[in-house]
Amino acid sequence: MGPPSEPLQSEHLAPVTPLRRAKASPERRQASRSVARPVAELPGAAAAGGGAAGGGARPERAGATERWNNTWAAEPSRASAGASPEASSLGAGAPEAGAEDEETERLTRKTTALTIRQLARRGMSRWELEQLLIKREIVPEVFAPELDRLEAMGVIDDASLAATLAFTQHSRKGLGRSAIELDLKRRHIAPELIEEALADIADEDELERATELAVKRIGQLSSYDDETTRRRLHGFLARKGYGSSVVRQAMDAAFATRGRRGGVRFQ
């Protein structure tokens, strides 16, 4: 074999010239910083970076990125977050407390509606309204504040009710003070309010009303003798609530009319 041939000049590689990175102009550096700034100004970036400028840009960017990623991270448990047992129990009971508030509000509205409707039908004392609400299965803890509010507004007024009942029962039903007092006590109206209502009935008015009843009643007992008539007339006036002194005077006036010729005529 012959000697190896010399390498050809055309197979030699061209020398490699290293490329140098051109320095960025001040304008390009400023634009690059302005683009990167919003990332560093994400919520919490200032706290992470400590408010430092210049060399603190990298910590700010790292802190902002970490907080941004935590938005999609799993919510830390209450134990890891350092939540106290008291806070956990309060948070767990919040829905139940909200339901209780809604139920209380519903029952309060029901209390108001029932109270207004009953007072529109007839006069009722506060005690009577309370008994009605208890029968409707509304507890005092709910209806008591609402009745206090209605009483402060004058919707519930035991004093006015006592005065009205005393007048109507005396003038229309012919009841005396004792019977009126018993009825007001049955409605659990305060004693001082009862006393004020009965004070509006004058002694003269009570005697006059008792005499009218006695005269009318004795005409219905014309078939009985005087003793039987007196006994029955006395019981009638006593049941009406008149005192013994008023009963005696009314009976005397009634018997005085009985001896007249032709009896007593009633319109």
In this prediction, residue 15 carries a pLDDT of 56
Largest CA distance in the chain: 187
pLDDT of 146 strictly over 70: yes
- How many residues are recorded in the chain? 267
Q: What is the pLDDT of residue 128?
A: 96
Do 215 and 256 form a contact (C-beta atoms < 8 A)? no
**Contact assessment for residue 44 and residue 67, using Cβ atoms and an 8 Å cutoff:** yes
Q: Which of 105-114, 167-176, 201-210 has the lowest mean pLDDT?
A: 105-114
Structure tokens at 249: 């005077």
In which band, very low, low, confident or very high, does the pLDDT at 260 lie, cut at 50, 70 and 90? low
Tokens 């509000």 -> residue: 105
Q: What is the mean pLDDT of residues 95-122?
A: 86
The predicted structure's pLDDT at residue 99:
78
Residue 104: what pLDDT? 86
Share of the chain above pLDDT 90, in %: 53
Average per-residue pLDDT in the chain?
75
Please say if the pLDDT value at position 87 is more than 80: no
**pLDDT reported for residue 214:** 96
pLDDT of residue 103: 85
| pLDDT for the residue 25 | 52
Q: Where is mean pLDDT largest: 22-31, 78-87, 138-147?
A: 138-147
| pLDDT tens figures, 11-45 | 555 555 555 555 555 555 554 454 444 444 444 44
Q: pLDDT band for position 49 (50/70/90)?
A: very low
Determine the distance from the C-alpha atom of residue 255 to the mean position of all C-alpha atoms in its chain, rounded to a whole number.
61
- How many whole angstroms separate alpha carbon 227 and alpha carbon 186? 35
179, 169 contact by CB (below 8 A):
yes
* Contacts within 8 Å (CB) and 24+ apart, 141-146: 142/104, 142/107, 142/108, 142/111, 143/107, 143/108, 143/111, 145/108, 146/108, 146/111, 146/112, 146/115
CATH class of segment(s) 202-267: mainly alpha
Of the listed ranges 60-74, 139-153, 175-189, 222-236, the least confidently predicted one is: 60-74
Percent above pLDDT 70 for the chain: 60
Q: DSSP for 83-132?
A: --HHHHHHHHHHHHHHHHHHHHHHHHHHHHHHHHHHHHHS---HHHHHHH
Lowest-confidence pick of 37-46, 67-76, 113-122, 187-196: 37-46
Distance between CA 119 and CA 151 in Å, rounded? 12
**94 pLDDT higher than 90:** no
Cβ within 8 Å of residue 245, ≥6 positions away:
none
